[in-house]
Amino acid sequence: MVKRNPHLAKLHAGYLFPEIAKRKRLFLEKQPNAKLISLGIGDTTEPIPSFITDRFKATADALATYEGYSGYGPEQGHLDLRQAISKALYQNQLDVNEIFISDGSKCDIGRLQVMFGSQASIAVQDPSYPVYVDTGVIMGQTSLYQPQIRQYAGIAYMPCRPENHFFPSLELVSRTDIIYFCSPNNPTGAAATRDQLRQLVQFAKQNKSILIYDAAYACYIRDPSLPRSIYEIEGAREVAIELGSFSKMAGFTGVRLAWSIVPQELRFEDGHPVHQDWSRINSTFFNGASNLAQAGGLAALQPEGCQAMERLITFYMENAALLRQVFEAHGYSVYGGIHTPYLWVKFPHHTSWEAFEILLEKIHIISTPGSGFGPAGEGFLRFSAFGYRDRIEEAVRRLKKHLSSI
Ligand code: MLT
């Protein structure tokens, strides 16, 4: 018999979203006719703009010809796509060699963990996107799960609550090698200010840590004074890796396309460029993103593509505003939904899973329990604003009717 990887055995539960899917399945077995509305996993619902899908089609057609066929592409991604990312999203401030195209930020996070190895210590916002902690556990960066405090020993949890405006009290955070930071934040919806990011970069510098800045929702920032990239902050190039994604920007959750940025200045303790190791990891574990996806990504970054993406983002943010209004009208403390398609709502009389079950049973709405993102998420539910308008409006009607009795 083969011994199970002991690190996998440390994961205390299934990954959050499959767990929710399981509960949904069980509910539907009991009530097969229920008209469930999912505001759970953040998955895009609007069709991809035809300006982009036309490029998929043309690229697929070309692949059927000798002239247009291509096999493996460069592991780091097509040069024209990297140039377009630098131009459209970073005002040409990035060297294209610092951009690595990938099949998704989740996959990039897993590969980053492999690059840093099992000895690296990590800090995460609490609550946070579960992939940072789970990949760290799988790598063996932590010892056992501590059920009393619902944390893994060895990971620094940085509580982000309404009381600290969802920005960690850095003076209380111990030094770690890696700091994960997501802004605009999944799940709380908080978008860090320029001043907060300056503090964060300074903190990483002082501690000689590497910051992994997850900017997957940057395109949802509505306030032009808020930074969209960590590299808008002076000194960030020496401490930060940034992750970006087409998933929520262009509806590519199924297409799969993302990027990471590793500046040339970023070094390990021994002076070795992080860039070189990241390149080595990518060329070993990955053969480049799909050429179809990259062609679509390139179209998305042309002026017409950018306008079409902006329309998608506006649509989801209108959904978010509708949801926000109903919670506010019922006196709930609601955060997010302004610079992110996620709302973070406090349910004062229930644990997160209790509130999840109540909404499921009473009004057939699926949410995501805040505690699934970390102990500081207890008592909150996250609502995703990705959804068809008529479903969001129906969800608002149901919430209106029942929120006061929850
Ligand atoms: C979420 O709901 O948090 C995201 O859609 C999950 C993901 O991006 O992997």
Q: Spell out the SS3 assignment of 25-53.
A: HHHHHHCCCCCCEECCCCCCCCCCCHHHH
186-235: per-residue pLDDT in tens?
999 999 999 999 999 999 999 999 999 999 999 999 999 999 999 999 99
In angstroms, rounded to a whole number, what is the distance separating the alpha carbons of residues 112 and 213? 12
- Closest ligand 1 atom, residue 129 Cα: 3
pLDDT-wise least confident of 86-100, 107-121, 143-157: 143-157
54-75: per-residue pLDDT in tens?
999 999 999 999 999 999 999 9
**Reported confidence tier of residue 13, pLDDT bands at 50, 70, 90:** low
Beta bridge partners of 240: 211
Span 150-166, mean pLDDT?
Answer: 94
Chain mean position to CA 131: 9
Distance 2 CA to ligand 1 centre (A): 33
- What is the residue with the minimal CA distance to atom 4 of ligand 1? 42
Among 15, 16, 17, residue to substitute to test ligand 1 (most atoms within 8 Å of Cβ)? 17
Chain mean position to CA 276: 25
Mean pLDDT of all residues belonging to the chain = 96
On the 0-12 / 13-18 / 19+ scale of CB atoms within 10 A, 322 is middle
φ, ψ dihedrals at 182, nearest 5°:
-115, 125
Q: Inform me whether the pLDDT recorded for 254 exceeds 70.
A: yes
Q: Inform me whether the pLDDT recorded for 131 exceeds 70.
A: yes
Confidence at residue 105, expressed as pLDDT on a 0 to 100 scale: 98
237-249: per-residue pLDDT in tens?
999 999 999 999 9
Distance 61 CA to ligand 1 centre (A): 32
Answer yes or no: is the C-beta of 104 below 6 A from any ligand 1 atom.
no
Q: Inform me whether the pLDDT recorded for 264 exceeds 90.
A: yes
Q: Which residues contact 254 (CB under 8 A, 6 or more apart)?
A: none
Answer yes or no: is the C-beta of 107 below 6 A from any ligand 1 atom.
no
pTM as predicted = 0.96
Please state whether 256 falls in left (phi above 0), alpha (psi between -120 and 50) or beta: left
**Reported confidence tier of residue 40, pLDDT bands at 50, 70, 90:** very high
Show the CA angle centred on residue 185, arms to residues 203 and 225, nearest 5°: 75
Which amino acid would we find at residue 3?
A: K
Span 252-260, mean pLDDT?
Answer: 98
Distance 130 CA to ligand 1 centre (A): 9
Answer yes or no: is the C-beta of 374 below 6 A from any ligand 1 atom.
no
In angstroms, rounded to a whole number, what is the distance separating the alpha carbons of residues 148 and 151? 8
φ, ψ dihedrals at 65, nearest 5°:
-120, 155
Element (H, E) at 344: strand 342-346
Q: Inform me whether the pLDDT recorded for 12 exceeds 80.
A: no
The torsion of the CA quartet 268, 201, 116, 107, rounded to 10 degrees, works out to -140
Confidence at residue 14, expressed as pLDDT on a 0 to 100 scale: 66
